[in-house]
Amino acid sequence: MIISELSGKTYHVIIYGCQMNKHDGERIAGMLDSLGATRVDTIEESDIVIFVTCCVREAADVRLMGQAASLKNVPLREGAPVTKRIVAIGGCIGQRDGDKLVDTLPHIDVVFGTFNLSSLPRLLEQTILTGEPMVEVLDSADEFPTSLPSQREHSWAAWLPISIGCNNFCTYCIVPHVRGREKSRPMEDVLADARAYVADGVKEITLLGQNVNSYGRDLYGEPRFAELLRQVSATGIERIRFATSHPKDLNDEVIQAFAELPNLMPALHLPVQSGSNAILKKMNRKYTREHYLDIVRKLREVRPDIALSTDIIVGFPGETEEDFQQTYDLVREVGYHQVFTFIYSPREGTPAAKMILEDDTPREVIQERFQRLVDLVQEGAFAANQPEAGKVVPVLVEGSSRRDETMLTGRSPKNLTVHAHIPEGSDIDELKGTFVDVKINKAKTWYLAGEVL
């Protein structure tokens, strides 16, 4: 082991935001562990705290500032090898704000961005040695974080980034500004990782990108996501999932993959954002409601059991009651298993943030529409889950239920949460990462319950 300033120190990673950040968190843990640091679960036990941040909506910003500020009041552990807890901020806020963070939060020691995860150990070492804050933010990536060691959260599941960045510039969205342009990883590299995961006993691979459907356009001149799916499927991995899809790039070949590949799970997150063509246009989404519904129809033709989920923004600048109604109707028509609903949050530097100046929809009206949608989403999720009752589903076990230690929790092929009693004489630690067949006897809004066969 290389001798490092980090050796013998404890660190705690706090992750906000999307799967990309979760994956980055695993790489951070991999790097720090390889330098002799030890991961701990609480701030109290930690010598170093690392925030991997998100700025997609204002709420995420505010939460970081509050939590980072309150760290000052948490005493160090007994015998800590530091005189002051080291605090690092990375991820999308680190990328966006850089130096500014050290000015607003004076006890921050390290700021890093989305393109230089690999610099984190060096920046931490330098700040420990010098006592000076270290800020390093780059404009683009020279390597994929996949080249770094990883400490997977679950031994049986792996995130596998196939592209980073985004070229879509939806008018509300900050992501292209903090994650840069879309850059795909060569297919051979992705496949080499997938094969290594299979050899390592991984049961489920989730391919990651801001828009997986355009995978390969920058490398091969045309999207090759469907081909990538076929090749990953051929590695023999038990379950494949992917996130996220952009409807404008989800082509017939990918739809066909759902018909052909048995290990591609029957679940798809397909963000629609709005059901109104006028709003979709203002959002720069480049598809219509009709096109979206056509994709849904085709998917269900080839895979009738497919479970759909989506993201929706309520209160985009200029959204009228009629626009909202169209979103509401679309949600009812599709019958989603899960809908992530967001109130529009203006992000500085995005085109929509300027549109809001002309918008005078009162906050209460937006809030009331949001609530109407949330109610519908719950009804819809409950209804969509009902056909599961009575079925036997293969569940990939994740561990014991947080609420009840005698119950196990896992995921069905449709990615629905399943709870069941831990069979008598079974050890939950041995069940983790294995498949059990569960006979579902109860379908609730957000989970299924049953008994292990």
Residues at the site binding ligand F3S, with contacts judged by CB under 6 A? 17-18, 20-21, 54-56, 91-92, 174-175, 178-179
Give the type of residue at 445. T
Residue 70 CB contacts under 8 Å (≥ 6 apart), including other chains: none
CA angle 346, 349, 351 (to 5 degrees): 70
Q: 210 or 345: whose CB is closer to ligand SF4?
A: 210
Q: How far is the CB of 28 from ligand F3S (least distance, A)?
A: 14
178 touches which of ligand F3S, ligand SF4, ligand SAH, none (CB within 5 to 8 A by kind)? Answer: ligand F3S
Phi, psi of 332 (to 5 degrees): -65, -40
Q: How far is the CB of 20 from ligand SF4 (least distance, A)?
A: 10
**Residue 220: Cβ within 10 Å count:** 13
- Write the binding mask 177 to 216 for ligand SF4: x where contact by CB under 6 A, - elsewhere: ---------------------------------xx-----
Residue 23 sits in the site that holds ligand SAH (CB under 6 A): no
Per CB under 6 A, which region of 122-130, 170-178, 193-201, 327-335 contacts ligand SAH? 170-178
Q: 13 or 56: whose CB is closer to ligand SAH?
A: 56
What residue is closest to ligand F3S based on CB? 17
Binder among 210, 233, 361, 409 for ligand SAH (CB under 6 A): 210
Per CB under 6 A, which region of 3-11, 96-104, 166-174, 214-222 contacts ligand SF4? 166-174
20 touches which of ligand F3S, ligand SF4, ligand SAH, none (CB within 5 to 8 A by kind)? Answer: ligand F3S
Per CB under 6 A, which region of 65-73, 145-153, 169-177, 432-440 contacts ligand SF4? 169-177
Residue 96 sits in the site that holds ligand SF4 (CB under 6 A): no
Q: How far is the CB of 356 from ligand SAH (least distance, A)?
A: 10
Binder among 36, 149, 176, 335 for ligand SF4 (CB under 6 A): 176
CA distances from 155 to 32, 199, 247, 362 (A): 18, 12, 32, 48
Q: Are 278 and 252 in contact (CB under 8 A)?
A: no
Residue 224 CB contacts under 8 Å (≥ 6 apart), including other chains: 187, 215, 216
- Measure the N-to-C terminal CA separation of the chain; round to a whole number of Å: 46
| Rounded-to-integer distance, Cα 149 and Cα 30, Å | 5
Residue 175 sits in the site that holds ligand SAH (CB under 6 A): yes
**Three-state secondary structure readout of 335-359:** CCCEEEEEECCCCCCCHHHHHHHHC
- How large is the angle between the packed helices 225-234 and 187-199, nearest 10 degrees? 30
- The per-residue b/e assignment along 329-360, b for 16 or more CB within 10 angstroms, e otherwise, is ebbeebebbbbebbbbbbbeebbbbebbeeee
Binder among 29, 87, 148, 166 for ligand SF4 (CB under 6 A): 166
Q: How far is the CB of 285 from ligand SF4 (least distance, A)?
A: 8
The structure tokens 């695993």 sit at 26
Binder among 49, 50, 56, 334 for ligand SAH (CB under 6 A): 56
Q: 354 or 442: whose CB is closer to ligand SAH?
A: 354
Residue 173 sits in the site that holds ligand SAH (CB under 6 A): yes
342 touches which of ligand SF4, ligand SAH, ligand F3S, none (CB within 5 to 8 A by kind)? Answer: ligand SAH
169 touches which of ligand SAH, ligand F3S, ligand SF4, none (CB within 5 to 8 A by kind)? Answer: ligand SF4
Q: Which residues would be at the binding site for ligand SF4 (CB under 6 A)?
A: 166, 168-170, 173, 175-176, 210-211, 246
Q: Which residues would be at the binding site for ligand SAH (CB under 6 A)?
A: 56-57, 172-173, 175, 210-211, 244, 246, 271, 273, 311, 313, 342, 344-345, 347
